[in-house]
């Protein structure tokens, strides 16, 4: 490296102020690699973001939202344009989006600079998805770093990765002196107490309850003993389970009478505080329950500071504590933990022998030494130059790599003015003649709420406010709703029958479940409460939409008994509708399959989950299966055409097929999965979405990759080239639903559906996605039978 030139290294990892071990590891690595580089090092951090409230400072230059695919592509482009020479990745499956962290490969495969990946987790019996994900990361990496000997064997034997590509570099530890713990105990008011320490982010795998059960016997042998549990609850655990585990441990302390002998420090400590706690501890304990833990920063720190350690034999502990550097006990065995600790407390020779051997072993693992090892890799003179990303990926390649088009608001903005979303378009040009509908603007509220929940972009919020304003204005003082508005903002008199009330309730419920800001809740709740009394006055689809809205209302206010009564009444009406119209050969709610069919079983699945009602689930199952038998031919979906529909005893109309049937089916199938856990429905959900991309009767895409709009329907002659509101909304709602289900879809993408067809038809689908769209003359617009509106 030329004198005065700095090696620029990008780090892809979590990073402080995020509270996790890998974030701390990366911060320590940057600091110590920089010290080893003696001024020849410049760092750039691409931080994995799980909490939008975190505020990052230098060296963080870019943030990736964990579950947003497009962020990974953008991050790769950012790194490529930042003159980065080496990329260091800290890999842990749960750190990255997609099933088994698979989104990371989207980024790595696009990078120009060589990648050096540090593995913080390895699985000895990975499922195919985890195996594939890790192998792809390793294949995209110039070097793979594992932190212990077992990792070398696992990479070779399980993942078939070995040779010069793999490096062994231990987990770094603080460079602290070998001290007498009594010197530090006064800092915490623990003079004349023997001390045991466990630290780290708290979760159920820590096995603290096993240690607590050992405490009475330890206290009997050493009455001065004090056990310190240091660390806050892991943020992901806190998010999903709250403090339930910590509360359970605190109850155990009271039940066992340990109040004078156990202290919980529920906070994330800085390095200085941690070092003081380590130096004050006599014995360090890790009673972990899971043997499959390859690395442990906390145990490495304890060994490096010369603590007498007692631990269960998880993988990291077996290596760190070998050759007399600690005591290993059986998993979940409180008696053995007590015996080992009592022996160490009673035998000074054993206590100091364990400490000295651990401290001496740790000298080769201190952060200055580890920083030097990493800097040697970063500064290698002959790093390979990758050529896979020298040219930008084409649109087709990008779509192929992320499997679905990136959700876009481009056509939404074209169809929207300051009043709301136009109902129709001539080709891509808004058609003002037909004005606006509450139907469309209610669906647009749902779409923008879902979009903003996944992609919190300001322009989505701007559109959201326009659409929300429209549907609020559509509401009459008595809670009824108007549907058709002319371009001059006057409401159409003598409206045809419609389901606008149900769609408005669905929109209001969505906002309550996913409010962009809490300030929306008060206004939306009042509006919802004003209209919900009219639920029973609707047709079946209106009641189904209302059920979806009421279920979302209950997510925000689960104790709302009036809403529960209205929801149950609507679900009972749908069941009655089924019982009055179904026959052995016709398992449906009406004597004709018409428009937006799948929303009916969708609503009953949702109701069944709320009430645990087996009758709702049974009817949902029967009607869902009947609908699938009618519309899925084993290869692709062929929805009921609006030119003739499908009457009982007659032949199903094949055309014109409408996008609303696809989105309705996509949503129903996710609800079916949620209710049953059957992976088949995730496979079929993707099949239903692929109808938009060319997996249909004409093998022609309805989504326009250039305009980001969706064609209005599939006619016998081809696609209806108009790209109006309903079709464009249907596509966006579908893709948002599929993205939300992506982790589940990925899990079963290689399995076969019950039809015997492979669910993983990506190659075939991509060819059809890339096929040119035929220039077909626009046909008459598709009519809705009840509402008489163009699709």
pLDDT score recorded for residue 431:
93
Gap between the Cα atoms of 322 and 133, Å rounded: 32
Burial of 164 (0-12, 13-18, 19+ CB in 10 A): exposed
Gap between the Cα atoms of 196 and 278, Å rounded: 10
pLDDT score recorded for residue 353:
94
Helix (H) or strand (E) holding 309, with range, is: strand 308-311
Q: Write out the two tokens for 67.
A: 């579950």
Q: What are phi and psi of 530, to 5 degrees?
A: -70, -35
pTM here is 0.54
pLDDT score recorded for residue 782:
26
DSSP 577-618: HHHHH-BTTB-SSSSEE-SSTTHHHHHHHHHHHHH--HHHHH
β-pair type (226-230, 262-265) = parallel
Conformational region of residue 756, where left means phi above 0, alpha means psi within -120 to 50, and beta covers everything else: left
Mean pLDDT by 10 residues, the chain (791 residues): 76 93 94 93 93 86 86 88 94 91 92 95 92 95 94 93 91 86 83 92 92 96 95 80 89 95 86 84 94 87 92 93 94 96 95 94 93 94 56 34 72 94 93 94 95 84 95 94 93 87 95 89 90 91 95 89 92 95 95 95 96 95 96 94 94 95 96 91 92 92 90 92 94 89 47 38 35 27 30 29
Residue 313: closest CA among 339, 332, 334, 298: 332
pLDDT score recorded for residue 747:
40
CB burial readout 91-130, b (16+ within 10 A) else e: bbbebbbbbbbbbbbbbbbbbbbbbbbbbbbbbeebeebb
Gap between the Cα atoms of 79 and 83, Å rounded: 7
pLDDT score recorded for residue 396:
28
Helix (H, G, I), strand (E, B) or coil at 491: strand
Query: Using one digit for the tens of pLDDT, what is the confidence trace for 602-630?
Result: 999 999 999 999 999 999 999 999 999 99
Q: Write out the two tokens for 631.
A: 């519309």
Gap between the Cα atoms of 646 and 429, Å rounded: 33
Query: Using one digit for the tens of pLDDT, what is the confidence trace for 75-119?
Result: 898 899 889 999 999 999 999 988 899 999 989 999 999 999 999
Q: What are phi and psi of 682, to 5 degrees?
A: -70, -40
Q: Write out the two tokens for 386.
A: 């990758």
C-beta separation of 122 from 90 below 8 A:
no
Gap between the Cα atoms of 773 and 732, Å rounded: 20
Angle, nearest 10°, between helix axes 500-513 and 438-454? 20
β-pair type (484-485, 429-437) = antiparallel
C-beta separation of 438 from 471 below 8 A:
yes
Angle, nearest 10°, between helix axes 520-531 and 500-513? 150
pLDDT score recorded for residue 400:
32
Gap between the Cα atoms of 728 and 310, Å rounded: 61
Query: Using one digit for the tens of pLDDT, what is the confidence trace for 468-507?
Result: 999 999 999 999 999 999 999 999 988 888 899 999 999 9
pLDDT score recorded for residue 762:
36
pLDDT score recorded for residue 15:
95
Gap between the Cα atoms of 503 and 787, Å rounded: 13
Gap between the Cα atoms of 359 and 176, Å rounded: 10
Torsion of CA 154, 155, 159, 163, to 10 degrees: -140
Residues in contact with 576: Cβ distance below 8 Å, sequence separation at least 6, in sequence order: none
Residues in contact with 89: Cβ distance below 8 Å, sequence separation at least 6, in sequence order: 11, 12, 13, 104, 108, 115, 116, 117, 118, 137, 141
Residue 647: closest CA among 600, 598, 593, 596: 593
The sign of the dihedral angle between the CA atoms of 6, 7, 10, 15 is: negative
Residue 374: closest CA among 40, 118, 686: 118
pLDDT score recorded for residue 403:
60
Residues in contact with 710: Cβ distance below 8 Å, sequence separation at least 6, in sequence order: 411, 659, 692, 702, 703, 704, 723, 727, 728, 730, 731
Residues in contact with 180: Cβ distance below 8 Å, sequence separation at least 6, in sequence order: none
């Amino acid at each position: 490296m030329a004198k005065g030139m700095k090696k620029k290294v990008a780090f892809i990892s979590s990073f402080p102020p995020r509270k996790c071990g890998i974030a701390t590891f990366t911060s320590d690595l940057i600091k110590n690699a920089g010290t080893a580089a003696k001024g020849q090092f410049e760092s750039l951090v691409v931080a994995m973001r799980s909490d939008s409230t975190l505020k990052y400072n230098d060296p963080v230059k870019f943030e990736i939202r964990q579950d947003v695919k497009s962020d990974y592509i953008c991050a790769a482009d950012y790194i490529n344009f930042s003159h980065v020479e080496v990329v260091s990745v800290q890999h842990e499956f749960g750190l990255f989006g997609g099933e088994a962290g698979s989104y990371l490969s989207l980024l790595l495969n696009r990078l120009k600079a060589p990648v050096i990946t540090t593995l913080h987790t390895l699985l000895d019996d990975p499922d195919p998805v985890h195996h594939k994900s890790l192998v792809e990361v390793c294949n995209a990496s110039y070097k793979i770093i594992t932190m212990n000997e077992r990792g070398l064997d696992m990479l070779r034997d399980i993942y078939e990765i070995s040779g010069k590509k793999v490096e062994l570099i231990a987990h770094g530890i603080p460079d602290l002196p070998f001290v007498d713990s009594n010197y530090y105990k006064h800092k915490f008011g623990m003079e004349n107490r023997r001390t045991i320490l466990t630290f780290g982010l708290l979760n159920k795998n820590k096995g603290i309850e096993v240690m607590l059960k050992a405490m009475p016997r330890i206290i009997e042998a050493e009455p001065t003993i004090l056990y310190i549990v240091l660390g806050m609850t892991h943020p992901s655990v806190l998010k999903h389970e709250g403090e339930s585990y910590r509360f359970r441990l605190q109850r155990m302390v009271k039940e066992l009478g340990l109040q004078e002998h156990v202290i919980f420090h529920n906070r994330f400590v800085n390095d200085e505080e941690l070092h003081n706690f380590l130096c004050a501890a006599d014995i360090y304990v890790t009673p972990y329950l899971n043997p499959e833990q390859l690395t442990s920063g906390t145990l490495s720190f304890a060994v490096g500071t010369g603590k007498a350690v007692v631990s269960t034999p998880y993988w990291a502990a077996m290596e760190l504590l070998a050759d007399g550097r600690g005591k290993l006990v059986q998993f979940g065995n409180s008696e053995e933990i007590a015996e080992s600790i009592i022996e160490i407390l009673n035998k000074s020779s054993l206590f100091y022998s364990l400490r000295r051997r651990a401290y001496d072993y740790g000298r080769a693992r201190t952060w200055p030494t580890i920083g030097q090892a990493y800097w040697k890799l970063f500064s290698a003179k002959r790093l390979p130059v990758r050529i896979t990303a020298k040219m930008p990926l084409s649109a087709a390649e990008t779509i192929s790599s992320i499997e679905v088009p990136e959700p876009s608001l481009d056509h939404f903005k074209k169809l929207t003015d300051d009043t709301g979303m136009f109902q129709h378009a001539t080709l891509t040009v808004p058609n003002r003649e037909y004005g606006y509908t509450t139907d469309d603007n209610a669906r647009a509220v749902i779409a923008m709420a879902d979009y903003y929940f996944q992609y919190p972009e300001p322009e989505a919020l701007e559109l959201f406010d326009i659409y929300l304003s429209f549907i609020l204005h559509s509401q009459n003082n008595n809670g009824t709703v108007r549907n058709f508005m002319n371009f001059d903002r006057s409401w159409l008199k003598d409206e045809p029958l419609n389901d606008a009330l149900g769609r408005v309730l669905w929109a209001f419920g969505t906002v309550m479940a996913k409010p962009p800001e809490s300030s929306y809740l008060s206004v939306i709740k009042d509006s919802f409460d004003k209209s919900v009394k009219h639920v029973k006055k609707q047709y079946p689809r209106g009641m189904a939409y209302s059920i979806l809205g009421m279920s979302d209302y209950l997510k925000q206010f689960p104790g709302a008994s009036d809403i529960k009564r209205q929801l149950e009444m609507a679900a009972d009406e749908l069941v009655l509708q089924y019982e009055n119209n179904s026959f052995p050969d016709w398992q449906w709610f009406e004597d004709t399959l018409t428009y937006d069919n799948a929303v009916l079983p969708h609503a009953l699945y949702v109701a069944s989950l709320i009430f645990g009602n087996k009758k709702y689930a049974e009817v949902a199952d029967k009607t869902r299966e009947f609908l699938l038998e009618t519309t899925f031919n084993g290869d692709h979906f062929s929805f009921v055409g609006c030119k003739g529909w499908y009457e009982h005893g007659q032949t199903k109309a094949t055309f014109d097929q409408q996008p609303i049937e696809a989105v309705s089916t996509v949503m129903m199938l996710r609800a079916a999965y949620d209710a049953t856990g059957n992976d088949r429905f995730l496979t079929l959900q993707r099949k239903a979405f692929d109808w938009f991309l060319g997996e249909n009767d004409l093998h022609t895409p309805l989504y326009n990759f250039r305009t980001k709009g969706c064609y209005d329907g599939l006619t016998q002659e081809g696609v209806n080239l108009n790209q109006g509101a309903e079709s464009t909304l249907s596509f966006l709602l579908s893709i948002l639903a599929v993205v939300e289900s992506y982790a589940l879809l990925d899990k079963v993408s290689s399995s076969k559906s019950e039809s015997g067809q492979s669910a993983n038809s990506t190659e075939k689908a991509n060819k059809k996605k890339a096929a040119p769209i035929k220039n077909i003359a626009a046909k008459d617009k598709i009519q809705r039978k009840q509402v008489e509106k163009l699709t």
